[in-house]
Amino acid sequence: MLNPDMLEFIWQHREDDPARLALSGKKYPDMPVAEVASQVQALQKIRQKIPSWYRQGLYFPFSLSVEQASSELTAKYKAGLMQAQCMADLTGGIGVDAFFFAQKVQSLIHIEQNEQLQQSVQHNFDCLGVTNVQWYTGTAESFMAGFAGKLDLIYLDPARRHEQKGKVFQLSDCTPDVLALKESMLRLAPRVLLKTAPLLDLKQASEQLGCVSAIWVLAMDGECREVLYLLEREAPASIPITAVHLHGGQEDAFRFTWADEKQADTAFLSPQRYLYEPNAAILKAGAFKSFAQQYGLGKLHQHTHLYTSEALAPNVPGRRFVVEQVCKYDRKAVQAAVPEGKANITCRNFPDTPDQVRKKLGLKDGGEIYLFAATVADQQRVVLVCRKV
């Protein structure tokens, strides 16, 4: 049973510096200040990552679990994808995904093998008013071996840490091994929603899984966060892929298939008046030609995923820029185009890194100018001097 006085003390000190708080044992002799400091640090992360959980009384025993948990935005998005009466989360963790799924289903089974973590999730769900969750403490494998009922949906986010290999992302290295459990899961439920690391190659994962019926690539605030695979007993011949960027309360979704991508016709153009950089989800999904075709854009080079047009294309999901100059990759030429002496630098299909480009061109980071060092259609390496639209 968690100490109510300690939980109240944690909340009172939620704005404190955790490092300084951990050294204040003499000031608070009746409190386990190291534990309190750890909880204050967790709360400060929760405030940014899962704002609806930022309240008094919650407890998080492991800092790694907080770091690895889904964000509120991505968890809400996932929960809105599926309709189910009864589901199981095979890899419960601190319960972020389960919390939002529980708001959409009649009943949810939360499986977690760490007893201390499971008890803290039960405590937190009580504080959060969640009443439709059943608890199973044990592995995903032991739960499935002993479960005699039927489910509408199984969700799992395999742990990407291996005892020997450290941090991993290949499906066979994660725990539980989804490839080994796939058939058993699909016997229990007609649908399995799998979350994986963004590093995993989408086509390779789909081939390994063999029964993928849909893929979602989720990005948030400009960074790809996770990839979701829906597994079903019968998968379509062509897998629909949705690249989703969650930002500022908005949701940009781009849909395509690999067949669309293969058949798309792309024009390669020299830089025109406007330049477009697709969002991180589209780039990860690999919708390079489909993106150009859908928005009527030219591409700078087969392997340079930057796009251009003479007239401004509306509603393009990504960053849009006005091209002010196209310079040689030359210090004198670029400095003449950037008299402020500072710029934000991006490299696309270019041999040097942004830091190397910045050093060679003698520029500082920041400002309102955006430089794109890129290879264009005639194989020339250029620097595009741009401003945001």
At 359-386, the pLDDT tens digits run 999 999 999 999 999 999 889 999 999 9
Confidence of residue 96 (pLDDT cuts 50, 70, 90): very high
pLDDT of residue 258 exceeding 80:
yes
Mean local confidence (pLDDT), 119-128: 97
Does pLDDT of 388 surpass 80? yes
- Which residue from 143, 144, 205 is spatially nearest to 173, judged by alpha carbons? 205
pLDDT at 63: 87
Contact assessment for residue 235 and residue 211, using Cβ atoms and an 8 Å cutoff: yes
- Could you state, in order of their start, the residue ranges of all structural domains in the chain? 4-59, 67-239, 262-388
**What was the pLDDT predicted at 304?**
97
What is the average pLDDT across 303-329? Answer: 96
Q: What predicted TM-score, i.e. pTM, was given to this entire model? A: 0.92
- pLDDT band at 42, cuts 50/70/90? very high
Show the DSSP H helices in the chain as ranges. 4-12, 18-22, 33-49, 63-68, 72-79, 96-102, 115-128, 140-146, 178-188, 202-209, 258-263, 280-285, 288-295, 331-337, 354-361
Is residue 1 very low, low, confident or very high in pLDDT (cuts 50, 70, 90)? low
72 vs 92: CA distance, rounded Å:
15
Does residue 163 carry a pLDDT above 70? Answer: no
Residue 116 has pLDDT above 80, yes or no: yes
Query: Mean pLDDT across the stretch 7-29?
Result: 94
C-alpha span between 80 and 258 (Å, rounded): 24
Q: Residue 84: pLDDT above 60?
A: yes
| Residues in contact with 4: Cβ distance below 8 Å, sequence separation at least 6, in sequence order | none
Q: Mean pLDDT throughout 181-206? A: 94
Q: Is the pLDDT at 160 greater than 60, yes or no?
A: yes
Average pLDDT, the chain: 94
Span 113-135, average pLDDT: 97
State the DSSP code for 171: G
pLDDT value at residue 307? 98
> What percentage of the chain has pLDDT greater than the value 70?
97
Helix or strand holding residue 309 (H, E): strand 304-309
The CATH class, in words, for 67-239 is alpha beta
